[in-house]
Amino acid sequence: MNMSWIENRFEENVIITSVDLALNWCRKSSIWPMTFGLACCAIEMMSTAMSRFDLDRFGAGVFRATPRQADLMIVSGTVTKKMAPVLVTLYEQMPSPKWVLAMGNCAISGGPFVFEGQYNVIEGVDLLVPVDVYVPGCPPRPEALLEGFLKLEEKITGKRRFPGPESRW
Amino acid sequence: MEQIGNMIGWETVKMVVGLVGVLVFVVLNALILTWAERKVAGHMQRRIGPKEVGPYGLIQPIADALKLLGKEILTPREVDKPLYYLAPMIIFVPVLVSFVVIPFDASLQVMDINVGILVILAFSSLSVFSILMAGWGSNNKYALIGAIRSIAQNIAYEIPLLLALLPIIMMTNSFSLKSIVEAQHGLWFVVYQPFAFLIYFIAGVAETNRTPFDLPEAESELVAGYHTEYSGMRFALFFLAEYTNIFIVSAIAVTFFLGGYQGPFLPGIIWFLLKSYLLVFVIMWLRWTYPRVRFDQLLNISWKALIPLSFINLLITGGLLKL
Amino acid sequence: MVERIKAELGATLKETPVGEADYRERGYHLFAEVASADLLNVARFFDERGFYLAALICVDYKEYLELVYIFSNHASLCKVKITLKIDPAKPVAPTISTVFDCAYWHEREIREFFGVSFDGHPNMTYLFLHEGIDFYPLRKEKIPVSDEDKKALGAFRPGEGEDTFFVNLGPQHPSTHGVLRVVLKMDGEYIEDAQPVLGYLHRMHEKMAENRSYLQFLPNTGRMDYLGPMAFNLGYVTAVERLCGIPVPDRANYVRVILTELNRLSSHLMWLGAYLADLGALTPFLFVFDDREEINDILEPVTGSRLTYCYFRFGGLYNDVDDAFVAGTRAFIERLRSRFSLYEKLVGGNVIFTNRTRGIGVITKERARKQAVSGPVLRGAGIPMDIRKSEPCAAYGEMDFDVPVGTRGDALDMYQVRIREMENALNIIEQALARLPEGPIMTEKAPRKLKPPKGDLYHTVETPRGELGIYIVSDESDKPYRMKWRVPSFSNLMIFPELAKGNLLADAVAILGSLDLVIPEIDR
């Protein structure tokens, strides 16, 4: 349930429900990520949750270990063929509404481990689960992950929390 | 209005108003405590906690609660349905009953039962049932291990809890919470019974499954313990019950040892809340400082250290009272 | 020592000659090629003399397969390379896992990557690869898996027992272990058996090495161990320099030492935080990340990255350090020294922590040798071996530091050893900063296209986790013919099943944390 699908479907004199707006605001203010660190990007994800780049400021500091209580799966690291069924099982155990953030080059498209004759790396986690936000980098800086987070919030509500760089010009 | 009052009886009206007040307080308390936990954790860890969601992050718990309300209601296929559905509902019963007898102020007590503390202790033992139902009904190995650990821990620590409160009951000759608070008019009981206070505090922290005694929810070992398979609002109920339990443990400590609602200048309820929240802060402080105690060490602390000490304390108190 | 072993080995082997190799070029002192029948005798020979099996490598020369056994010694420096040629059409070899326990897993790995079956090996399920792979990955040609192998190698399936049940620890962890899955057979709260299942992060580094030139492989080394990438970088770069004979200027050597020690600090700090998070205390985790961010602040302007560094080049460095770096490092050392007292009060003096770690996971010297553990785990068990002292590379030979050794071999000793190693690292950095010479950072003699001479090399380096061994076989082209990484975490993990037996689940987590594992380097 991202942006209201009834928006822009009728004429202008139909107002979308404010319950929807309120619920979306609540969902974006309290995204609980699941601890799914696979490889090097996991360390940068942990750095983002730590004191310097505090992710808890945005309400996302509660990392739940069980998928049943998490909203966001941050796939940080390379997905191999052995890990793929585990990832899909965890994704299906999460209750809706749920989101997936592909962090790092490996999760986006296999990263630096794609070469002629490769036999074990899945080239991108979006071959397994639907991905909402892609954060590139090897590993992406914590600021990049925070920006990906804000992008996810923008995707949920339609409005951006802080002004982005482009709106200054 | 007069007629309704005469028909139903003023006592009933007072009780209903009291219960509604208690419910409102429970919800508010849970909201405040979740916010406080994250802020306290943040500041102890050299960062600020929630900040963007409302001023100082004050609306964060409301966002959390509404988000949990809006989650999909998911029932895993293989769970034992009656147990799975009942567990989060039953965990709230002891909490609400305990609030009925706690004296917030000299006149702010829903009902002054003359066996007040017995009611609280009896009902808090019932929370063990709901944990067992959650663990078994989830049909999940981790939940079951977590539930079994929690039951052993709860049963082991209820005994020192009770034994630490007995000296106070012996000194005041009454089970009613209000008379215990009134008996501390001159000097708080913590001066007479410092060991009992410490034992009660430690046993209380263990009863609420908080670190350093939080093996039932040990994240690094058991995913999430007995509420692994709960999502959305059901999980929120477990969460709420845990935070309310923390407040109840602190409230009883304040009532028995720290003078309840008594204090100069400010109205009684302000003193009561101040003292209770101070103890709640200490409990949170413990959580973010200490690692977890291993399970057999935990049971050893209870059976080999706390119970003998509380017995000795009881004997000494009994002896001194006789003289 | 080397002469004595040569004489005794020659006497044992009788027909085959024991050759002497130039240690500076090859990394080992003696080599011998044995036949299949003699292998077990040779293994027993080395076991009696207190050697340990440093590495077990298989190389696919297309006409034959060669198994390379490298035996090394804790007490004095003596490395022996024993080779065994196998027919590629019917690859069979005897197992030495009855003598050296660590060979058990090495042989499993060779079985699934090369197809060499070992006579008498008890268990052959897949260790790294997923079920459904139908060729042997590291062979030079694509050889399909034979049917009997398909039956023997299957995925790991735990059987059910009467009073026991199986619990999975992972592969999704709420802590920082990464994707390690340990299948525990539990009887109530006690563990009867622990079987790690690896391969969830197998990123084919060794196969990539054969497809990439030496310089193109350099970024991979940083991603193998993401907590101590400088040490892996250092090992690889010094190995290739040794193979090609490239000299390195002094300034580069000193800077390499400073950066590797800073990385060692960062890795041990992270271990401290993660270990305490496993035990339940979440606050030191955040304090530790604070210190790590300070280290990143120093290293980022110099190296350009925060986590997976790729800073050393063949022949030196690619960027010079400036005065800001020196000043920043000195300020950081002062700050960290004062933080140690904070950690001591919060962690070391905490009675709950000492109760959780004292007497847990005791490693005896004999088991440490048989399982070829290395690094702080080995030193905690009581054996004072540090590769920075016995085989120094870069400027370690000129540094003055001691080797901390534990007495009991339990998890608390590992903690103490790592704390003292951190203090040593601070001392080394101070010494190196004081003696930092001026001069070039890159030698002029580095060839543009790197084509090492034909031969092989076994090079070791001390990473924060233990002994990293790099075995390079070069055939004069610009790509390595075979590169094998003997990683310390793989060897350290081998001792975990026997330590976990009979313990509580909480203790198993404490033991696993004290071994300081990083999974990408195990899975390579």
Report the C-alpha gap between B11 and B43 in whole angstroms: 46
Angle at Cα A76 formed by Cα A73 and Cα A79, nearest 5°?
Answer: 95
Q: Is the pLDDT of residue C381 over 60?
A: yes
Q: Could you give the 3-state DSSP secondary structure of residue C449?
A: coil
Neighbouring chains of C at 3+ CB pairs under 8 Å are A, B
Query: What radius of gyration do chain C's Cα atoms show?
Result: 23
Q: Which residues of C fall below an 8 Å CB-CB distance to B?
A: 165, 167, 169, 173-175, 189, 276-283, 286-287, 290, 346, 350, 352-353, 355-356, 504-507, 509
- A5 in any annotated domain: no
Q: Is the pLDDT of residue A67 over 60?
A: yes
What is the rounded average pLDDT for all residues in chain C?
85
Q: What is the amino acid identity at position B217?
A: E
Report the C-alpha gap between C28 and C19 in whole angstroms: 11
- A128 in any annotated domain: yes
Contact C171 A121 (CB under 8 A): no
- DSSP state string for C178-225: -S-EEEEEEETTEEEEEEEE--TT---HHHHHHHS-TTTTHHHHHHHS
Q: What is the pLDDT of residue A7?
A: 52
* Nearest CB partner across the interface for B214, out of C173, C280, C287: C280
Contact B221 C506 (CB under 8 A): yes
Domains and CATH numbers, chain C: 2-149 (3.30.460.80), 212-358+369-375+385-406+417-486 (1.10.645.10)
Q: What is the b/e burial string over B185-205, where b = at least 16 CB atoms within 10 angstroms of the residue's CB?
A: eeebbbebbeebbbbbbbbbb
Report the C-alpha gap between C27 and C30 in whole angstroms: 10
Q: What is the amino acid identity at position C256?
A: R
Helices (H), C371-480: 376-381, 387-390, 411-434
pLDDT digits 0-9 by tens, B70-125: 888 888 888 888 888 888 888 888 888 888 888 888 777 777 788 888 888 888 88
Two tokens, residue C482: 């075979």
Q: What is the pLDDT of residue C318?
A: 83
Cβ-Cβ contacts under 8 Å, A141 against chain C: 306
Q: Is the pLDDT of residue C157 over 80?
A: no
Two tokens, residue C509: 């987590």
pLDDT digits 0-9 by tens, B7-64: 667 778 888 888 888 889 888 998 899 889 888 888 888 888 888 887 888 888 888 8
Residues ≥6 apart with Cβ < 8 Å to C348: C354, C415, C416, C419
* Nearest CB partner across the interface for A115, out of C211, C219, C520: C211
Contact C277 B220 (CB under 8 A): yes
Q: What is the pLDDT of residue A134?
A: 94
What is the rounded average pLDDT for all residues in chain A?
83
Contact A40 C172 (CB under 8 A): no
Contact C167 B219 (CB under 8 A): no
- What is the count of residue pairs from B and C with beta carbons less than 8 Å apart? 76
Cβ-Cβ contacts under 8 Å, B55 against chain A: none
Q: Is the pLDDT of residue C243 over 50?
A: yes
Q: Nearest residue on chain C to A75, judged by CA atoms?
A: C172
Q: What is the pLDDT of residue C429?
A: 92
- A44 in any annotated domain: yes
pLDDT digits 0-9 by tens, B146-202: 888 888 888 888 888 888 888 888 888 888 888 888 888 878 888 888 888 999 999
Neighbouring chains of B at 3+ CB pairs under 8 Å are A, C
Q: What is the b/e burial string over C279-297, where b = at least 16 CB atoms within 10 angstroms of the residue's CB?
A: bbbbbbbbbbbbbbbbbbe
Two tokens, residue A127: 């071959």
Contact A38 C207 (CB under 8 A): no
Q: Is the pLDDT of residue B296 over 70?
A: yes
Query: What radius of gyration do chain A's Cα atoms show?
Result: 17
Task: State the average pLDDT over residues C418-436.
Answer: 91
Q: What is the pLDDT of residue A101?
A: 93
Contact A61 B50 (CB under 8 A): yes
Two tokens, residue C213: 């030139």
CB A63 within 8 A of CB C299: no
- What is the count of residue pairs from A and B with beta carbons less than 8 Å apart? 91
Q: Nearest residue on chain C to A47, judged by CA atoms?
A: C289
Q: Nearest residue on chain A to B236, judged by CA atoms?
A: A69
Q: Is the pLDDT of residue C337 over 60?
A: yes
CB A26 within 8 A of CB B67: yes
Q: Is the pLDDT of residue C125 over 80?
A: no
* Nearest CB partner across the interface for A90, out of C132, C172, C179: C172
Q: What is the pLDDT of residue B2?
A: 65
> What's the domain count of chain A?
1
Residue B322 touches chain A, beta carbons under 8 Å: no
Report the C-alpha gap between B154 and B156 in whole angstroms: 5
A17 against C38, higher pLDDT: C38
| HEC string for chain A | CCCCCCCCCCCCCCCCCHHHHHHHHHHHHCCCEECCECCHHHHHHHHHHCCCCCCHHHCCCCCECCHHHCCEEEEECCCECCCHHHHHHHHHHCCCCCEEEEECHHHHHCHHHCCCCCCCECCCHHHCCCCCEEECCCCCCHHHHHHHHHHHHHHHHCCCCCCCHHHHC
Percent of chain C residues past pLDDT 70, beyond the cut: 95
CB C120 within 8 A of CB C95: yes
Q: Nearest residue on chain C to A116, judged by CA atoms?
A: C211
Contact B288 C507 (CB under 8 A): no
Task: State the average pLDDT over residues C19-29.
Answer: 82
Task: State the average pLDDT over residues A83-90.
Answer: 90
Mutate to test the interface with A, among B67, B138, B142 (most CBs of A within 10 A): B67
Chain B closest-CA separation from residue C512 CA (Å): 11
Residue A169 touches chain C, beta carbons under 8 Å: no
User: What is the Cβ-side half-sphere exposure of residue A156, based on CA atoms within 13 angstroms?
Assistant: 26
Cβ-Cβ contacts under 8 Å, C286 against chain B: 45-47
Contact B293 C355 (CB under 8 A): yes
Q: Nearest residue on chain A to C175, judged by CA atoms?
A: A35
Contact B294 C356 (CB under 8 A): yes
Query: Of the candidates B271, B274, C355, B76, which has an alpha carbon nearest to the alpha carbon of residue A93?
Result: B76
Angle at Cα C399 formed by Cα C398 and Cα C401, nearest 5°?
Answer: 145
Task: State the average pLDDT over residues B236-240.
Answer: 85
Contact B63 A26 (CB under 8 A): yes
Chain C closest-CA separation from residue B287 CA (Å): 8
Q: What is the pLDDT of residue C317?
A: 87
A-contacting residues in B 25-44 (Cβ below 8 Å): 38, 42
Q: What is the pLDDT of residue B220?
A: 53
Burial grade of A21 (CB within 10 A; 0-12, 13-18, 19 or more): middle
Q: Is the pLDDT of residue B293 over 50?
A: yes
Q: What is the pLDDT of residue C332?
A: 92
Residue B228 touches chain A, beta carbons under 8 Å: yes
Q: What is the pLDDT of residue A1?
A: 42
Contact B48 A57 (CB under 8 A): yes
Q: What is the pLDDT of residue C321?
A: 86
Q: Is the pLDDT of residue A133 over 90?
A: yes
pTM: 0.89
C163 against B239, higher pLDDT: B239
Pairing of strands A72-76, A33-34: parallel
Helix axis angle, B10-44 to B60-69, nearest 10°: 110
Mutate to test the interface with B, among A26, A64, A93 (most CBs of B within 10 A): A26
What value of ipTM does the predicted structure carry? 0.85
* Sign, CA torsion B313/B314/B316/B320: positive
Cβ-Cβ contacts under 8 Å, B47 against chain A: 50-52, 54, 56
Chain A closest-CA separation from residue B249 CA (Å): 25
Task: State the average pLDDT over residues A68-88.
Answer: 89
Q: Is the pLDDT of residue C197 over 70?
A: yes
Domain that holds residue B262: 2-322
Domain that holds residue A135: 29-157
Q: What is the pLDDT of residue C24?
A: 82
Q: Is the pLDDT of residue A2 over 50?
A: no
- What is the count of residue pairs from A and C with beta carbons less than 8 Å apart? 107
Q: What is the pLDDT of residue C266?
A: 92
Task: State the average pLDDT over residues C53-71.
Answer: 89
A-contacting residues in C 264-293 (Cβ below 8 Å): 270, 285-286, 289-290, 292-293
Q: What is the pLDDT of residue B281?
A: 92
* Nearest CB partner across the interface for A68, out of B45, B51, B228: B228
* Nearest CB partner across the interface for C353, out of B219, B220, B291: B291
Q: What is the pLDDT of residue A10?
A: 52
Task: State the average pLDDT over residues C12-28.
Answer: 79
Task: State the average pLDDT over residues C98-125.
Answer: 82
Residues ≥6 apart with Cβ < 8 Å to B176: B112, B113, B114, B115, B116, B117
Query: Of the candidates B28, B33, B63, B90, which has an alpha carbon nearest to the alpha carbon of residue B287?
Result: B33
Two tokens, residue C244: 């090609």
* Nearest CB partner across the interface for C171, out of A42, A44, A86: A86
Report the C-alpha gap between C290 and C287 in whole angstroms: 5
Report the C-alpha gap between B251 and B259 in whole angstroms: 11
Q: The domain spanning residue A93 has which CATH number?
A: 3.40.50.12280
Cβ-Cβ contacts under 8 Å, A23 against chain B: 66-67, 70
Cβ-Cβ contacts under 8 Å, B142 against chain C: 167
Task: State the average pLDDT over residues C500-521.
Answer: 86
